[in-house]
C-alpha cells in the first residue's frame, strides 16, 4: 500500500506491514508496541503522543529521521535529550501542557524548526527561553499562552523572523512593556491577546505598524472607544477579531475601523438592528457576526 497521510486507526495493522504511514496518533497503551516495532515507521512525518504522562521522549522516536511534526502535549516532560538534534527535519514541535522550566538548548540546533507550542508550561523561565528561541533561525510561529507571563524580556525582540505570536490567557501581562519589545520584531504579522482581561489598550500599540492581524477575543471589559482609536493608529492592520466579548453595541462613530478588511464579531449579543448599523458604517469591511 502506498504512503498515507491519515492517522492510523489500527496500530497492529501498521505493524504487520499492511499500512505505510506518514502520520500516526498513538493511544498511550500502544506505546510499547510502537517502540518495539519502530522499524515499521521510519517514513513517519507526523507523530502524536498526547496525554500519556511521559517524563521523557521514548528513545525510539529519535530514530524517526523524516519526522516533521511531533506533538507531545499534555505529558510531564521537563527536558529533551541531547540526541534530539537528530530530528533535523522537524518543523513543528508541540510541548504544550508539560513541566518545562527551561527550554533545552538543543532546539537551537534544529535548522528547520519553524513552529513551537510552549503554552501551559506555567513555570517557564521566559528570560532563559527567549535566549534559546532567538537562536532558532526559522522560528516564525510561537505559542506562549497560559504561562503566567507578566513581561517579555528585551532579548525576545531578537526573534527576528517571527510572524505569529500567541500571548492569550496571560491576564497579568504588561501590554505597554510587551508592545515596546515586540515593536522591534519587524516580521511580526499576527498577535493574539485573547482572554487577557484587557480593559484599555496602551497608546504605544501605535508602534506595531507591522501588525496585520489582531485577536482580542474574550476580553469583555475592553473599552471600545479606546480600542477604535488604537486600531486607527495601526496602519497595516487588516483583520481584527473581537469574538465572545458580550458586546451589545458599538460606539456611534466607527471611523477607526474603516481601514479593516475583516472585522469578526461573532459570539456577541448584537441586535439585528445594531448589526445592520455596523455594516452600514463599514461598507468596505467584511463584518462577520
Q: What is the mean pLDDT of residues 111-138?
A: 98
- Any idea which of 20-29, 43-52, 168-177, 186-195 has the lowest mean pLDDT? 20-29
Q: Examine the pLDDT at 15 and tell me if it is beyond 90.
A: no
Q: What is the mean pLDDT of residues 76-84?
A: 96
**DSSP secondary structure letters along 56-116:** S--GGGGG-TT--EEE-TTS------GGGGG-TT--EEE-TTS--SS--GGGGG-TT--EE
- Listed in order, the ranges of the chain carrying CATH 3.80.10.10 are 45-188, 196-289
Q: Examine the pLDDT at 208 and tell me if it is beyond 80.
A: yes
Residue 8: predicted pLDDT: 46
Give the integer Cα–Cα distance in Å for 90 and 114: 8
Q: What is the mean pLDDT of residues 94-117?
A: 97
CB 229, CB 204: distance < 8 Å: no
Q: What are phi and psi for residue 132, nearest 5 degrees?
A: -80, -45
Residue 201: predicted pLDDT: 98
Q: Examine the pLDDT at 129 and tell me if it is beyond 50.
A: yes
Residue 272: predicted pLDDT: 98
Whole-number mean pLDDT of the chain? 95
Distances (CA, A) of 161 to 69, 117, 178, 184: 20, 16, 17, 11
Q: Examine the pLDDT at 17 and tell me if it is beyond 80.
A: no
Beta-bridge partners for 185: none
Residue 10: predicted pLDDT: 64
In the chain, the percentage of residues whose pLDDT exceeds 70 is 96
Q: Examine the pLDDT at 4 and tell me if it is beyond 90.
A: no
Q: Examine the pLDDT at 258 and tell me if it is beyond 50.
A: yes
Q: What is the mean pLDDT of residues 145-154?
A: 98
Q: Examine the pLDDT at 3 and tell me if it is beyond 60.
A: no
CB 98, CB 78: distance < 8 Å: yes
Residue 5: predicted pLDDT: 44
Instruction: Determine whether domain 45-188 maps to CATH 1.10.600.10.
Output: no
Query: Is 35 buried (19+), middle (13-18) or exposed (0-12) by CB count in 10 A?
Result: middle
| pLDDT tens figures, 215-229 | 999 999 999 999 999
Fold (topology level) of 196-289: 3.80.10
Q: What is the mean pLDDT of residues 161-166?
A: 98
Q: Examine the pLDDT at 18 and tell me if it is beyond 90.
A: no
Q: Examine the pLDDT at 288 and tell me if it is beyond 90.
A: yes
| pLDDT tens figures, 38-59 | 999 999 999 999 999 999 999 9
Greater confidence (275 vs 15) lies with: 275
Amino acid at each position: 500500500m502506498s504512503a498515507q497521510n491519515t492517522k492510523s486507526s489500527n496500530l497492529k495493522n501498521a505493524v504487520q506491514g499492511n499500512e505505510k504511514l506518514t502520520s500516526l496518533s498513538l493511544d498511550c497503551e500502544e506505546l510499547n508496541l510502537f517502540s518495539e516495532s519502530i522499524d515499521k515507521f521510519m517514513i513517519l512525518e507526523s507523530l502524536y503522543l498526547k496525554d500519556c504522562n511521559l517524563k521523557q521522549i521514548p528513545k525510539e522516536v529519535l530514530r524517526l529521521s523524516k519526522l516533521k511534526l511531533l506533538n507531545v502535549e499534555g505529558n510531564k516532560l521537563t527536558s529533551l535529550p541531547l540526541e534530539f538534534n537528530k530530528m533535523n527535519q522537524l518543523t513543528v514541535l508541540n510541548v504544550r501542557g508539560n513541566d518545562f522550566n527551561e527550554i533545552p538548548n538543543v532546539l537551537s540546533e534544529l535548522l528547520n524548526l519553524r513552529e513551537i507550542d510552549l503554552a501551559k508550561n506555567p513555570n517557564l523561565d521566559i528570560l532563559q527561553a527567549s535566549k534559546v528561541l532567538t537562536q532558532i533561525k526559522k522560528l516564525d510561529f510561537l505559542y506562549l499562552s497560559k504561562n503566567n507571563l507578566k513581561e517579555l524580556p528585551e532579548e525576545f525582540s531578537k526573534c527576528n523572523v517571527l510572524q505569529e505570536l500567541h500571548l492569550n490567557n496571560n491576564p497579568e501581562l504588561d501590554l505597554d512593556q510587551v508592545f515596546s519589545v515586540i515593536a522591534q520584531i519587524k516580521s511580526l504579522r499576527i498577535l493574539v491577546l485573547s482572554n487577557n482581561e484587557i480593559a484599555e489598550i496602551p497608546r504605544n500599540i501605535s508602534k506595531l505598524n507591522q501588525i496585520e492581524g489582531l485577536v482580542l477575543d474574550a476580553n469583555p471589559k475592553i473599552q471600545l472607544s479606546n480600542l477604535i482609536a488604537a486600531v486607527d493608529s495601526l496602519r497595516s492592520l487588516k483583520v481584527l477579531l473581537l469574538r465572545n466579548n458580550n458586546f451589545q453595541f458599538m460606539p456611534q462613530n466607527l471611523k477607526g475601523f474603516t481601514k479593516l478588511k475583516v472585522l469578526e464579531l461573532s459570539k456577541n449579543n448584537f441586535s439585528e438592528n445594531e448589526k445592520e448599523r455596523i455594516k452600514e458604517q463599514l461598507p468596505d469591511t467584511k463584518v462577520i457576526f
